[in-house]
Amino acid sequence: MRGSTGVGQGAPDPARWRILGVTLTVGFMVLLDVTIVNVAIPSMRSALETSAGSIQWVVSGYALTFGLTLVTGGRLGDAYGRRRMMLIGLAGFIAASAAAGLAPSIGVLVAARLVQGCAAGLLTPQNSGLIQTLFKGPERGTAFGLFGLTVSVSSAVGPVLGGLIIALVGPDSGWRWIFLVNVPIGLVLLVAIRAMVPGRDPDGDGDTRLDLVGALLLGLTVLLVLFPVVRVEGGSRTPLLLLLLVPVLTTGFVRWERRVVRRGGAPLLDIGLLRQVPGYASGIVVGTLYFTGFTGIFLVLSVYLQDGVDRTALATGLLLVPFAVGSAVASPVAGRVVSRIGRRVTVGALLVMISGILSVTLMVPPVGGGRWLWLVLGVPLLVAGLGGGAVVSPNFTLTLADVPTRMGGAAGGAVQTGQRIGASIGAAVVMTTYQVALSSYDDPGVALRWALSFSLVVLTTALGAAVWSWRYDPESSVTVRP
């Protein structure tokens, strides 16, 4: 069993790459559950005899509680140690996965997914926190490159694995195994985490006080953003009025966190990071906009391919593989070079990704189906994957480069909270756009074009934010500090 390591006090931990491998495997499983259920929606709805609005909570409920707990989960890791939070989070994730797979009704399934999302929020920020602790200088960029690979590939591979499981087991019970497969894998990972992942960071301040008021204020703020998004996906517009309270709660959270800092307390998230740490605020903006434009693409393509051109769940997943391949190639490379060329990596990567998605937007609708769909979709998605894979890891590296390791979990959780909020909003707007266009034109191809056009607008905005950061934030274009 590992205790505290000598990281930060001398030579780097010799087991750091093995530790990273274990934690990234956990991260892959957690992030996979964001998209793996997309291709199983028709099967779940049929098996549980439920409405489209209810089944939407299986997808959106996970994203909701995931986003709610990220910053708090990161702060708990900073205070009590990464290993402890990972063991608690993974135990909860395993139990919730088992409950989801065995669910006799839609109510039980939705409840299990909500718990699963909370557990995911405890687990995910420990990845960025451990990378901050275990790696320095260019090695940190490489580690974040592998983390970016995990984020990008898990999103793209989710529909493939979901389709494969349904094809092997059958639509009646295949959706259950999408959740149950997490149980044996998770149990093995529990043993690995217990044996390998270090406990408290020796560079930490040892402050275990928790900012419960800050956690409540931030949780309510995220809830009032995500809950209306979830309800919009289910067809309800009234909850959008809750968004009017978001500025009030955000202001309250900022003022409270500043008060905690002034009084020498332990804030949930030190707001001073936004002003004092070069590249942190701009990195959150770029990441949030990227995930707003990126996440809905896979969801709308899954719906288009299955409902619009009658592809099976497995064929749908396979058609999205080129994006995963492109990401797998680009992410590690981008992680290695970001320490030398900085924010320019993100700018170039977004340009490449936008060109790929633009090609899909222009080429797929006129073709519709047939054997040419593989070529028309495959090549542009490969290009988009090469770009997308080189966005996430450099942005993490640049955003967290100067964040003190004692705040690494909470700071990384804030970055990922922005990503989850962006992902939820993007998925909701993209699918709403697709459904409205489909009802207006009765043509899945035209509806897909409209939906992808929204993604392109947001990705172009993310490109503008990256260019601004590159040109006007001096620290974004220099090497990552050791």
pLDDT tens for 238-257 read 777 888 888 998 899 889 88
10 within some domain: no
Dihedral sign of CA atoms 233, 234, 237, 239 in order: negative
162 within some domain: yes
- Report the pLDDT averaged over residues 284-295: 90
User: What's the gap between Cα 57 and its chain centre?
Assistant: 18
The one-letter amino acid code at 55 reads: I
Report pTM: 0.80
Which structural domain, as residue segments, surrounds residue 463? Answer: 16-199+209-473
Give me the number of domains the chain comprises.
1
Give the model's pLDDT for residue 146: 84
Task: Specify the 3-state DSSP secondary structure of 198.
Answer: coil
d(CA 86, CA 81): 9
Question: Which position has the higher pLDDT, 12 or 381?
Answer: 381
7 within some domain: no
The CA–CA distances, whole Å, from 134 to 11, 17, 189, 241 equal: 10, 9, 19, 44
The helix (run of H) or strand (run of E) holding residue 440 is helix 408-441
Q: How many CA atoms lie within 13 A of 383 on its CB side?
A: 16
Angle, to 10 degrees, between the axis of helix 106-134 and the axis of helix 82-101? 160
d(CA 218, CA 432): 27
Q: What is the CATH number of the domain that holds 50?
A: 1.20.1250.20
163 within some domain: yes
Residue 184 pLDDT more than 80?
yes
Reported as a single tens digit per residue, the pLDDT across 6-44 is 444 456 778 889 999 999 999 999 988 887 887 788 788
204 within some domain: no
- Residue positions counted in the chain: 482
Q: In 197-320, which residue ranges form alpha helices assigned H by DSSP? A: 212-233, 246-262, 272-276, 280-303, 313-319
9 within some domain: no
Q: Which residues contact 26 (CB under 8 A, 6 or more apart)?
A: 86, 90, 123, 127, 189, 193
241 within some domain: yes
pLDDT band at 200 (very low <50, low <70, confident <90, very high): low
CB-based burial label for 353 (10 Å; 0-12, 13-18, 19+)? buried
11 within some domain: no
